Amino acid sequence: MTATPPDTSTSSTADRGPLAPDVEGVLVVDKPLGVTSHDVVAKVRRIVGSKPGRRGKRKGPKVGHAGTLDPDASGVLVVCIGRATKLVPYLQASQKTYDARMRLGRTTDTLDNEGVETSRTDASHITEEMVCEALHAFVGDIEQIPPMVSAVKVDGERLYEKARRGEEVERKPRPVTIHDIVMADFDPGDQPSTSFLVTCTAGTYVRTLAADVGERLGVGAHLTGLRRLGSGRFSIEDATSLETLQVMAEEGTFGEAVMSMADAMADYPAVALDAEQAALVSNGRGIPATGHDGPVSILDPAGQLIAVMRDQGRLARPEVVFN
């Protein structure tokens, strides 16, 4: 899966300063192939005027993403701007939906198209029914071993950094949940290919899923395409391309692509407060328990997100306060 990455340079933007300096909220980007998640964040930083300052501190609003998408994958990448970066732990925890394609009868050392071939097998006897059955065998709570080429840290270092040096280390299985798999098509042959839609928890490696399906069928497999269609409440229909975002920034309409923090947290229960209670929460005070399990969005009378709280006994206490 190779692609020529789009030009993400913004030298003209840097020359004339930030195009959208006062924007805050959540942006849903349609990340193209060949671009890293960090590249996307860097592009947005330039647009909103976030740049390195002294002693490691950045000038301008913070920018960060809520869940890495590999360079050889495209689709939904959630980017948080300003105070919305405090929402990253809540937004990246949501379930994901992917459109994936895999080829049977061939394995690689990276579990995808980018790696070196490690085995090749005649898989012409594999049928559509066999693949469908193998895919469905992974629906539910399963354990996955992260691939060596991944951002998981072992001994304080990313696995992909170790892989670049030719190292391979033991990785502990991680629990994930596959909520649903729907097979979309099947192309028979010596090395059959198939595409499928998968809905899963955050932290699921679809590359590993493809490899495990191939192993179950006894012929091996690797991932040949991956597009993230959804991340929590954010879908590909909500996403905007980098090229369009640049044009919007130059036209002064960049803010139209940015979602409010309250809307971004719509997957979580919300409690609206009156002005007096909102003032207490803004100062870090607790309120009577909300009756909800897990994080709760707290809104002021204007519907703005002012905190994320969690019940602790008779009180709900702030985890994050926006003031």
Q: Which of 244, 261, 278 is the last residue of a domain?
A: 261
State whether 126 and 177 are in the same domain: yes
Query: Bigger pLDDT: 149 or 244?
Result: 244
Q: What is the mean pLDDT of residues 37-53?
A: 89
Please check whether residue 17 lies inside any domain of the structure.
yes
- Are residues 119 and 174 both part of a single domain? yes
d(CA 227, CA 319): 33
Catalytic residue check, 109: no
CA–CA gap between residue 206 and residue 203 (Å, rounded) = 9
Question: Do residues 50 and 163 both lie within one domain?
Answer: no
Question: Which domain does 281 fall in, by range?
Answer: 268-321
> What pLDDT is recorded for position 183?
96
pLDDT confidence bin for 307, thresholds 50/70/90: very high
Residue type, 198: V
Q: Which residue has the higher pLDDT, 21 or 147?
A: 147
Residue 204: count other Cβ atoms within 10 Å of its Cβ: 21
Would you say residue 283 lies in a domain?
yes
Residues 105 and 62 both lie in one domain: no
208 and 87, same structural domain? no
Is 155 a member of any domain?
A: yes
Q: Is residue 5 part of a domain?
A: no
Whether residue 241 is contained in a domain is answered as yes
Instruction: Say how far apart CA 76 and CA 28 lie, in whole Å.
Output: 6
- Residue 2 lies inside a defined structural domain of this protein: no
Residue-wise pLDDT for 108-155, tens only, equals: 999 999 889 999 999 999 999 999 999 999 999 999 988 877 777 887
Active-site annotation holder among 30, 70, 112, 311: 70
Triad 145, 149, 153: Cα angle to 5° = 70
Query: What mean pLDDT, rounded, does the chain reach?
Result: 91
Q: Do 108 and 183 belong together in one domain?
A: yes
C-alpha angle 124/129/131, rounded to 5°?
A: 65
Is 194 found in the same domain as 129? Answer: yes
**All residues at 6 or more sequence positions from 257 whose CB lies less than 8 Å from its CB, including other chains:** 27, 28, 240, 244, 245, 248
Strands 234-235 and 174-187: unpaired
Spatial distance between the Cα atoms of 227 and 192, rounded to a whole number of angstroms = 20
70-95 mean pLDDT:
94
d(CA 113, CA 17): 40
The answer to whether residue 4 is domain-embedded is no
Q: Give me the number of domains the chain comprises.
A: 3
**Token pair 């490690």: residue:** 118
For residues 43, 44, 47, 50, the Cα torsion angle rounded to the nearest 10 degrees is -100
What CATH number does residue 217 fall under?
3.30.2350.10
Q: What is the CATH number of the domain that holds 294?
A: 2.30.130.10
* Per-residue model confidence (pLDDT) at position 50: 79
pLDDT band at 16 (very low <50, low <70, confident <90, very high): low
Mean of the pLDDT values across residues 80-95? 94
Does residue 209 share a domain with residue 101?
Answer: yes
pLDDT digits (tens, 9 = 90+) for 153-179: 887 787 778 777 877 888 889 999 999
pTM for this predicted structure: 0.88
